[in-house]
Structure formats: structure tokens, C-alpha cells
Amino acid sequence: MKILSRALLLLFVLLGVLIAVSNSQSVQLTLWPLPHIVVMPLYLLVVTLLLLGVLAGLGIGWWAGRHHRRHAREAAAEASRLEREIQRVRQAVAAATPPAPAGPTAPREQKVIERQSALVAPDHLSSPNQRGPFS
């Protein structure tokens, strides 16, 4: 990318030099409400007008994007507010939650584990006296 940008810069500088060498005649620039006449080389007039056009385009683009920048700032502020609220709620939940018992699992939790195990591997929970049709 760096090589491409340098190549393009070199191309534009070369193009500017060619315009300057090819259009070195002097021109008179008169602007109606101003009383004086400006005499300048043609290439300087062309480059100045191109630069003014680029700056005008950048200014219009910046002006058109103001709504998007405002919405982005508001969204960023809302996201940071929500992140702070999440942290506050997590701290409140951590403070209100009693520590887990260090002993064996509660009977209800044991039943849940047995049901889940039965769904995953029902053959392991059946008694050895019960035989299936294919055994």
C-alpha cells in the first residue's frame, strides 16, 4: 500500500510538472467586483482552481456527514453508559449471591443431572436384569 501511494504521488507530481511546463503563458484574471487585474501563469490558475474544487468537495462531504457523526457519538455514549450499568448490576449480583456450598450437590440438582444423563445415555441407567430385544 505504501508503494502504491508513493507511486500515485509521483504520478501526480509528474502530471503537475507537465501542466506547468506546457502552460506557462500568462493570463489576466479579473473578478467583477474587484477593481484590480491579476496576472498569473495559466498552470497556477489551473492548479488553484483544482485545489479549490477539492477543498469544496471535502467541505461538502464533511458537512453532509455531520448527522452520522452525531449519531455515532450518541451511540458511543449510550454504549459506555450501558457498559457501566452492566458492571454495576454484575457487582450487585455478585454481592447478593451467596457462595456455593462446598459439599455434595443438592438433591434437586442431583435429580436434574440424573435426568440429563438418562437422556444422553439411557442404557447406562437401566438395571442389568432388564435386557433389550437385541441382547
Give per-residue pLDDT as tens, 104-135: 556 777 787 777 777 766 555 455 555 555 65
Mean pLDDT to the nearest integer, 62-87: 96
SS (H, E, C) 22-76: HCCCEEEEECCCCCCEEEEEHHHHHHHHHHHHHHHHHHHHHHHCHHHHHHHHHHH
Residue 35 lies in a domain: yes
Task: Please state the domain count of the chain.
Answer: 1
Residue 108 lies in a domain: no
Report how far residue 68's alpha carbon sits from residue 12's, in angstroms, rounded to the nearest whole number.
32
CB-CB contact of 69 with 63 (8 Å)? no
Residue 94 lies in a domain: no
Residue 9 lies in a domain: no
Residue 97 lies in a domain: no
Q: What would the pLDDT profile of 83-98 be if each residue is shown by its tens digit? A: 999 999 999 988 887 7
Q: Which residue has the cell 449480583?
A: 93
| Grid cell in block for residue 101 | 456450598
Q: Residue 49's domain spans which residues?
A: 14-64
Residue 46 lies in a domain: yes
Task: Look at residue 73 in the predicted model and tell me its pLDDT.
Answer: 97
